[in-house]
Amino acid sequence: MTTFPLLALLAACDSPAPAMMGADATRMTVEGVDFTVRVRGSRVEAIRTNMMPNPSIGSVYPRAVQAMEEVSGCRVIEDSLRGDVAVMRADLDCG
């Protein structure tokens, strides 16, 4: 059994955190990076769903923020951003 098919499946996994379960999922691409974004109240979650060679927080972070802001229509509070190159969560300023 090869591990590549399994890795490909895991890379496309976009299961939400428990706090985001039931929230509508919006899929979008920002500069070649695919995300599934969920918004619940003043919280947002972006899950990267495509493979990237050597992803870094510096390359994923601005794209995730853009996806979160476009889907939510709100500004991401940057001090609240947390996560890694696969899953990022943040608080929103919708005022």
Report pLDDT for 8.
Answer: 47
Residue range 66-73: mean pLDDT, rounded: 98
Expressed as residue numbers, the domain containing 87 is 4-93
pTM of the model: 0.82
Contact 72, 94 (CB under 8 A): yes
pLDDT tens, 19-57?
787 889 999 999 999 999 999 999 999 999 999 888 999
Angstrom distance (rounded) from CA 86 to CA 13: 10
Contact 72, 29 (CB under 8 A): no
Give the distance from CA 36 to its chain's centroid. Answer: 6
Domain count, the chain: 1
Residue 9 carries which side chain, given as an amino acid letter? L
